[in-house]
Chains A and B, each alone.
Chain A
């Protein structure tokens, strides 16, 4: 890639969201807006290498997209072959388009970007469509980049985005910021998309999965943007805190060969302390806004307990148990209950942990979940009941197909004494 091409790509990555959002305000269709923005990019790729990069590249792209938007509006109107009223409507739309492009009022663009994100995460879309469209229009990723991150063929991903755009158009989803009760529900939808993207990156395991791992940063960046756009929504700050705090451990989570390193074993000097600070600040903001008891904020508070412990042994497990209790109250889940049992084992001893775990034995969702016997094995080992522990480890081994998990379990099995 030439230097000019790289520079164009950089401008695109920075500007594409604002560009698409500005055009969508007029076209009221983010699919069309995205195509027009792409056309402007193609024009830049054709002309900038020869003419040089313009003084204000963002404004250049806006103008090019505006010209194309007007052309397409005109063409659309011609096809419909109406008169009078349509001419006035066209004029009005051109005027609005002019405002969108020329004024570039900060607040106006912010609102457009927010509408764009709300629309891309609209509940009318399947979750995978929301994710793909959001990465495309709100993060400026190419179809190829998104496809590589999600380990799916580019063609599949392209169809996914195409379908999503079509669904939005057919459902006549308005390009607007939801209000009132609707706002809460729609914010939730946006946040769940962001957190899904984050987790997709967070669970990437091997070096070859670098592309997936970058999804973490995409998600955190999107979280930071949302925190600026929706400064009064506590859950936005709660999720941002959770992601910053989890991501702060990224460098310590993998060993030299890419193997998972458990939280208790991690070298805490590799944690990103500046990122922890940002996470703590976001958590404080969520709590100040009265959202301390919401799902993301509670999970962030648990992550904060870990982040603040200088060594694993200094972890405030009692506080963590309390936070899990609160989390179970508002969103009961067997996985959360399992994590709580681990925390109980640390706070009150392995016997208490085992007791908490027994209550989960009949949980259907955990029947084939390898972490249940794996956690039991840990607690039994601590109690010196090695034979039972080995039995649980074997059960866990039979339940997972993940190589790294298997390696971890086999290592544990080898370390557990044969007899009690």
Chain B
């Protein structure tokens, strides 16, 4: 098979241990912030950064679970959770290896890992899913008309 050079998008998700119990106003030190800014700038200058976000500590969040159509909201903390998502980057690169290389370069602490995941493009969806997606607007419009 030919080695296809295609552009793809990846989400680099930061997973942080200990973040679960961090105070609501926990913040990074100035030096860590500076290193991160430097890293973000390098991604930006490569023209490959599409977006990035950092999340507040999980203590300010909540979980909504669903059982047979009934949604239940659970506030923090969750006994079973040891780690939590801290933020993410969305990058556009030419290969999985390029995404991994960028992840390797990120200035991370010992308690942090980066999960690198590819983002679906329209071409990746099966025809069935595409059809369903095409119908999505109609459904939402119909729902809006009823409301």
Spell out A's residues near B (CB within 8 Å). 1, 3, 6-7, 9-11, 13-14, 57, 106, 110, 145, 210-211, 214, 217, 220-225, 228-229, 251, 256, 267, 269-270, 274, 278
Indicate if the CB atoms of B51 and A267 lie closer than 8 Å.
no
Indicate if the CB atoms of A221 and B95 lie closer than 8 Å.
no
Indicate if the CB atoms of B44 and A228 lie closer than 8 Å.
yes
Q: Quick one: closest B residue to A8, CB to CB?
A: B97
Complex Cα–Cα for A106 and B97 (A): 24
Indicate if the CB atoms of B7 and A217 lie closer than 8 Å.
yes
Q: Quick one: closest A residue to B121, CB to CB?
A: A251
Give A44 Cβ to nearest chain B Cβ, in Å. 13
Indicate if the CB atoms of B134 and A223 lie closer than 8 Å.
no
The 9 closest A-B pairs by CB, nearest first: A10-B97, A224-B47, A221-B47, A217-B7, A10-B98, A225-B47, A6-B97, A251-B122, A10-B101
Given A14-B102, A214-B6, A269-B137, CB of A221 within 8 Å of CB of B48:
yes
Does B3 touch A at the CB level, under 8 Å?
Answer: yes
Main secondary structure, interface of A, reads: helix
Q: Which residues of chain B are within 8 angstroms of A7 by Cβ–Cβ distance?
A: 97, 100-101
The number of residue pairs between A and B whose CB atoms lie closer than 8 Å in the complex comes to 65
Interface size band for B: 20 to 34
Indicate if the CB atoms of A270 and B122 lie closer than 8 Å.
yes
Q: Which residues of chain B are within 8 angstroms of A11 by Cβ–Cβ distance?
A: 101
Indicate if the CB atoms of A214 and B102 lie closer than 8 Å.
no
Interface set, chain B 1-52, CB cutoff 8 A to A: 3-7, 41, 44-48, 50-51
Give B40 Cβ to nearest chain A Cβ, in Å. 12
Q: Quick one: closest B residue to A218, CB to CB?
A: B7
Does B78 touch A at the CB level, under 8 Å?
Answer: no
Q: Which residues of chain A are within 8 angstroms of B122 by Cβ–Cβ distance?
A: 251, 270
Does B94 touch A at the CB level, under 8 Å?
Answer: yes
Q: Quick one: closest A residue to B127, CB to CB?
A: A256
Complex Cα–Cα for A267 and B44 (A): 31
Complex Cα–Cα for A14 and B51 (A): 18
| In-complex Cβ contact of B94 among A13, A106, A110, A224 (8 A) | A13
Q: Which residues of chain A are within 8 angstroms of B46 by Cβ–Cβ distance?
A: 14, 221, 225
Q: Which residues of chain A are within 8 angstroms of B127 by Cβ–Cβ distance?
A: 256
12 sampled A-B residue pairs with Cβ under 8 A: A6-B95, A9-B95, A10-B98, A13-B94, A211-B5, A217-B7, A217-B92, A220-B47, A251-B122, A269-B133, A269-B137, A274-B51
Indicate if the CB atoms of A14 and B5 lie closer than 8 Å.
no
Indicate if the CB atoms of A225 and B94 lie closer than 8 Å.
no
Give A45 Cβ to nearest chain B Cβ, in Å. 14
